[in-house]
Amino acid sequence: MSDDDVDHELQALLRAHFGLGPGDPNAPPETKVLENAEHIYNNSYDVALDMRHTKLAALEIHKQMQEREYSTKTWSEHELHPKAKDANTVNFIFTMDLLNFSFWSEKAEEERFAVSYKEKRWTGYWSLVAALQRALDEDIPITSPEFWVNEEECSEEKLKHVFRSETDEEIPMFEERVKCLREAGQIIEEEFDSSVTTLIEDAKHSAAGLVNLLAERFPCFRDEAKFEGKKVRLLKRAQIFVADLWAAFEGEGYGDFNDIDKITMFADYRVPQILHSLGCISYCPSLEHRIRRFELLESGKSWELQIRGCSIWAIELLRREIVKIQPDAKVNAILIDFFLYDLAKERELAGDNDDIPHHRTRSIWY
């Protein structure tokens, strides 16, 4: 071979090593969320993680999860979550996670958006679940993609009725929720034979594959941004859809995924709040001051991305510490996220005023 000849095999190996050119079509799907979260963590200068507190928190979290026998069954045990293991539950979960964003309010608890259902008052995430259940009880097919694209039957007036509040505050970002329903309904109709189950089947039992499919085909699930010159994927709602399927179906049927542990925590505002109270995460003075003053952080900007990315990495470090404590522990980022979210809500209901407020960001991503 002369000096001018090209060694195509060596060239292909080098391009593959440095991530250039097309990837291996037979390689298992990867969401890149954890990899991108590590990039954010490594380049964060306003948000930091504390390994000593992370180790201590891992001990306590592991202990409490064992005491409560925390597992996928915990998801279905909540009175509002669907119990059936069928296509109707798939549609319910898809609708729920399509609209699962931005429920925080600056109003007092008694004045904020709330849904009355079965003689109880529901706020936050649970207000959405209650509204969907209430609509189905009223024979409104709110979980049907075919309904969403029928603007005559699924009018804005009908949707305002579905999401009606018992207070004067309406559901936040109502117009954005309508847009998500219309857009997703059209895509499911055109690309997946009007069936959410077809969408799931196309992922071939891969959790990462389903997350990527959602991000690729549905703009309203494409939770991405740029941080320090690199595109980063956070994909909160796409990942939580997969996690909710896995939990609702207890890893079987529509919830059967062969790579479920590739799903990270769901980067929102409640888990960073509890991570801060546990001492796992800390903020620079100017950022902490802004959060404590309830000032908005703009979606996709550095501070907000540092909080979200470092939270994903913090949960991964907690998971690793728990596995060190008990190598055969059946724990992943999903269960830790679910547990910490429930813990945050418990502390809120108990009136624990020592916690930092959650950061304020208005967006469809969480």
Q: Give CA angle at 339 (206, 66), nearest 5°.
A: 100
Tell me the one-letter amino acid at 87.
A
Nearest to 92 by CA among 105, 75, 104: 75
Q: Which member of 223, 244, 268, 337 is catalytic?
A: 268
Dihedral sign of CA atoms 129, 130, 132, 137 in order:
positive
Q: Is 139 a catalytic residue?
A: no
Give the tokens for residue 60.
């306590």
How would you classify residue 253: left for phi > 0, otherwise alpha for psi between -120 and 50, otherwise beta?
A: left
What distance, in Å, lies between the first and last C-alpha atoms of the chain?
57
Distance, in Å, from the CA atom of 133 to the CA atom of 152, rounded to the nearest integer, reads 22
Query: So which residues are the catalytic ones?
Result: 268
